[in-house]
Structure 1
Amino acid sequence: MRAPIFQLDAFTDRRFAGNPAAVMPMERFPEDAVLQALAAENNLAETAFLVRQGGDYRLRWFTPTVEVPLCGHATLASAAVVMERLEPGRDQVVFHSASGLLTVKRAAAGYVMDFPVRPSKPVAEPEGLAAALGAPLAAVHVNPFNYMAVLADPAVLRRLSPDLAAIAGFDRAGVIVTAPGDGPYDFVSRYFAPAKGIPEDPVTGSAHCMLAPYWAGRLGKTAFRAFQASPRGGEVVCRLVGERVELEGACVFYLEGHAEF
């Protein structure tokens, strides 16, 4: 088989920043083992696979080791591929996914994604989490997908060098770390998911589905400018709209070609 492949940097307006994603449009999905092998070969945090479904697209996301139920940056990249390469001039696309219908619209400086909220609740600090992160925790929240560790100081968050083997042993797929914003940002975050084959994800759209409702409660507002403080770094504009979160960001094309498998 042969399929187009695109690599884009998402949640950034310049190359070599944000979060790289591969996007592979296909006529049909091959077996899951083939999709997983392609994602492992691409060796990026996420590879998105697209199949046309009427006027919409079916969308699936794979890390190098597992399929995941939601991925923000690869959805952003997929929307850019549809609207800039597959159907130039189109200003909206609907993706059918494991997390339901995801609509992405063109915006002045990028694209706006409509994602489901991922609420969380406070819990007692899991044993070993502060030690694994190497920092004292002000609070911990949890939902079925991730733990979220809250720090008091954004400077401490930026310096974290966690024990990834220990983080992989917790009973959630990943750990979001967040702190109040510095500079122009309402809050900052990082995301570690070694259990999914992603030691640190550079910019994580799905994490902001948990971050936005948490910071709405803390800050008493529903629109945020956020920064994910990984070494690559990336900006995410978030808006809480009922049970949905709008995530806005830009994409930059890096590579275009074909893959044979």
Structure 2
Amino acid sequence: MYLNIYQIDAFAEKAFEGNPAAVIPLDSWLPDDLMQQIAEENNLSETAFYIPDGDGFQIRWFTPGVEVDLCGHATLATAHVIFQHEGFSGKLIKFVSPRSGVLEVELEVDGQMTLNFPTDKIQQLDIKEDVIPGFSIRPKELWRGLSDYILVYDDQSKIQNMTVDLNELAKVDTRGFIITAPGDQVDFVSRWFGPRVGVNEDPVTGSAHTSLTPLWTEKLNKNDLTAIQLSRRTGKLSCKMLGERVKISGRAVTFMVGKVEI
């Protein structure tokens, strides 16, 4: 059996920027363990699989280690594949995730794509000493979303200069950690670490911005925000707070088209 596979750089203006994701179209779901093995073999932060579902699609995402509840950059990459490679003629794609519900992606006039995702539920916590030992700089605030801890700092340079102990981070029972601060040229910057799920540092994490958008909307008192994830590859995002939903916009670029032999 042969499967089409695409490798897409999401939240990128050109190849080798943003966050690479693998995308595999299917007619029906493969066994879970086989999809996990394919994701492990791809060794990217996420591999997305999708199947037709009425006039839309169902979607699932796998890191090299686990299936995850939500992934923004791989959803953007999947939409890029459907719009650019799989003959979809519309401007709005409706995805249904078994774990996250309805997710929409709209193709804008300027070529950007806009994700419409549920807003994360975040709450501020007292700083827990058992959560922060893996970070070289102590945060100003600690927050918790449904999937990640969020460490807030007061300066972009602290995000850029942060060193982490991945072994310490992997001891904490969480999908991942977001570190964030006001940006020098954008509203906010961030980085994301998830060694417990097989992703030491993610280049650009769309799902993290469902947590960061309500956080910085409250702090900056504005609904339209610009953001950069300060990984080595970097990624640029535009975010808009819409109450229970958040819009996250970016571009994607095709890097590779091929086939998987099973």
TM-score > 0.5, shorter chain as reference: yes
Task: Identify the residue that residue 55 of structure 1 maps to in structure 2.
Answer: 55
CA–CA separation in structure 1 for the residues paired with 2:68 and 2:111: 28
CA–CA separation in structure 2 for the residues paired with 1:172 and 1:13: 31
Are the aligned partners of 1:212 and 1:239 in contact in 2 as well (CA < 8 Å)? yes
Counterpart residue identity of residue 84, structure 2: E
CA–CA separation in structure 1 for the residues paired with 2:73 and 2:257: 18
Counterpart residue identity of residue 41, structure 1: E
* Percent identity (aligned): 40
The answer on 1:214 being equivalent to 2:235 is no
Mapping of residues 55-74 of structure 1, within 5 Å: 55-74=55-74
Task: Identify the residue that residue 187 of structure 1 maps to in structure 2.
Answer: 188
Task: Identify the residue that residue 21 of structure 1 maps to in structure 2.
Answer: 21
Task: Identify the residue that residue 250 of structure 1 maps to in structure 2.
Answer: 251
Task: Identify the residue that residue 160 of structure 1 maps to in structure 2.
Answer: 162
Moved over 6 A (4+): none
Task: Identify the residue that residue 238 of structure 1 maps to in structure 2.
Answer: 239
**TM-score, length of structure 1 as denominator length:** 0.97
The answer on 1:103 being equivalent to 2:104 is yes
Mapping of residues 3-152 of structure 1, within 5 Å: 3-97=3-97, 98-107=99-108, 108-152=110-154
CA–CA separation in structure 1 for the residues paired with 2:86 and 2:136: 45
CA–CA separation in structure 1 for the residues paired with 2:206 and 2:146: 17
CA–CA separation in structure 2 for the residues paired with 1:258 and 1:130: 42
Task: Identify the residue that residue 2 of structure 2 maps to in structure 1.
Answer: 2
Kindly provide the CA deviation profile for residues 48-77 of structure 1, in whole angstroms up to 9, marking residues without a partner as x.
Answer: 001111211110000001000100000000
CA–CA separation in structure 1 for the residues paired with 2:71 and 2:138: 29
CA–CA separation in structure 2 for the residues paired with 1:142 and 1:127: 14
CA–CA separation in structure 2 for the residues paired with 1:143 and 1:131: 19
Are the aligned partners of 1:20 and 1:44 in contact in 2 as well (CA < 8 Å)? yes
Counterpart residue identity of residue 252, structure 1: V
Any gaps of 5 or more consecutive residues in structure 2? none
Any gaps of 5 or more consecutive residues in structure 1? none
3-state SS of the aligned residue for 2:180?
A: strand
Aligned-residue offset at 1:87? 1.9
Segment drifting more, 128-137 vs 2-11: 128-137
3-state SS of the aligned residue for 1:133?
A: coil
Are the aligned partners of 2:9 and 2:253 in contact in 1 as well (CA < 8 Å)? yes
Task: Identify the residue that residue 261 of structure 2 maps to in structure 1.
Answer: 260
Aligned-residue offset at 1:167? 0.8
Are the aligned partners of 1:57 and 1:96 in contact in 2 as well (CA < 8 Å)? yes
CA–CA separation in structure 1 for the residues paired with 2:156 and 2:244: 28
Are the aligned partners of 1:227 and 1:234 in contact in 2 as well (CA < 8 Å)? yes
**TM-score, length of structure 2 as denominator length:** 0.97
CA–CA separation in structure 2 for the residues paired with 1:160 and 1:252: 29
Segment drifting more, 170-179 vs 244-253: 170-179
Q: CA RMSD in A?
A: 1.0
Kindly provide the CA deviation profile for residues 77-130 of structure 1, in whole angstroms up to 9, marking residues without a partner as x.
Answer: 000111111124431111110200111010113100100000211111121444
CA–CA separation in structure 2 for the residues paired with 1:148 and 1:239: 19
Are the aligned partners of 2:121 and 2:146 in contact in 1 as well (CA < 8 Å)? no
Mapping of residues 217-228 of structure 1, within 5 Å: 217-228=218-229
Counterpart residue identity of residue 210, structure 1: S
3-state SS of the aligned residue for 2:232?
A: coil
